[in-house]
Structure 1
């Protein structure tokens, strides 16, 4: 018996069910990384990731050492304007020696070090993809970039909990030349006359010595470079883990293992 349909077509008989589709077979679980594949993933993180972190450290150190004399020289040069108040600076030599240093071999080497460090970092990532080309691994470029990105975030988070503190120097450079208690400025409002007298008695020479790029970098440069070298130890250790983690997450199925090395695009 059918129920009349106002539209004119007969309704489907009661109890009619569409045919059931066959259930899809569950995918077999992917096997774990083999011992050699896991070793290669950790090696890629330690070697390739380590070179990448070293390149970034070179870029950072070069940029800091290049900008530090410029900033200090500009500050000292600007302070000199407040003394004479006639449109000239009593510490004009500070800016002149800064400009001369920027054109020196040392300044040029630091300027070249900024892009050179980036190239070294890219070289490290390329070396990582070469190490990861192994039958038990797949997507070498994906593992490299994902591992490096996660290690970058992890290193940033870890640096927020604490940092390496180095004893840069005690007090102000050349502090022995400043007689703060006797003939210095002391506390309270600064007397303009006393400031001019201090500059007239050699204060401008002292500030220019502080702003001298050679003296400034000789004093702070080794500590800055050492701090950055020590600072990449933790990111390299983190990279060993993140590279292995990404290789495990992107591990091939058993059937794909023999052709894994040919399915990925090389990092250019």
Structure 2
């Protein structure tokens, strides 16, 4: 997937077909090995970032994943004894998951207008969702704040402008005008933290992950060898696990935020 990137107001905007529509995500998930992913989740396999889930998600009280995709995290959390449910805006995705799993607590919904009462959830999860809204994450965060109980945790991840992207910004790689449909933003860390605080959250922890993607998407030579399988799985794993490389060049940052009283 190739996108034109334009630096606008402390954000790196990605443009170009396909845009992040409901139809796009339905087709995207359908073309993955989604049955195997869900089967793995039934055993409670969470993958990354499992340690943060264990540390911050309460065993008591409801947990919402807003923008849950296939619902693997919801399924895995429930297998571990959490009272988790999910909301996903792709009707196609929700339909095929329910047909495969039968009863599954995910439903079609809009993360900007959740069909839940105030203070309903003890924790809120949003991984790689808020960046896909061109108007920005504020409407989603307002809803997250509304449905969270006082002092509840929100685990929110978004793409970031890491060190390589900062250098490329200074060198003018991301200048020009938008072209095509909007896909997503990558945020400067301070920008997203400012938004979180403005919407009533305090930031308690930051976790950086996705260094392989962060590098291959911005360094042409690395991507050349990556696409041709010239980098060993062992080396990719070392890059992915490296704290230094994740701090410098991870594609994603996960904020552990807490609803202020």
Structure with greater Cα Rg: 1
Bigger strand fraction: 2
> TM-score with structure 2 length normalisation?
0.21
> TM-score with structure 1 length normalisation?
0.20
